[in-house]
Amino acid sequence: VQGRFNVADVPKLLAALAERTKAIDPEAPVPPSMVDGSFNIALKEQQPAAADVELTLKPADPKTASPIHLQGRWQPEKALAAVLEAEGVKVKTEYRQESFVYQAGMELDNFNSARIAAWLAIVRAKAGGMVSLTGSWSGSGDVKAGKHRGTLAVAKGDWNREGMPPLAASGEI
């Protein structure tokens, strides 16, 4: 089963979803935007054997926010895999639903949080000011047990927070 889809008015969709979902802030200003995507569902013996989705969230005015591209893959008894890309950031992750275990990695290349701030506000997330980063992170963990491990390497990091002095950093944790 294959198909394509388009959501021509993301603000209207999110306003409708906010009535049903507490995670969405109905007061957050949503940039005029659209979503284009495609999906592919493989069947074996009349049961889902795999599912792939690819979508791109596109602001009407590219100056207001970064486009976001997402690819995801599901297969029974395998890790749920996803790749998310926005300006300056690429995140790859695998998550095993049955064991709550994940592995992930992120590459940052002059990433600027201001470019995704509008998208974060929709789900009540805030960067705590403007963050600019170049570096990488890789990690894994067990969500249910609350155990996480990883390495963060920051080649260049700048944090500008309201009412606080700016912070510049580099190094590895």
pLDDT at 127 over 80: no
The predicted-structure confidence for 78-117, as pLDDT tens digits, reads as follows 999 999 999 999 999 999 999 999 999 999 999 999 999 9
CB 132, CB 157: distance < 8 Å = yes
Residue 58: count of CB within 10 angstroms of its CB: 17
Closest CA to 89 of 75, 72, 65, 105: 105
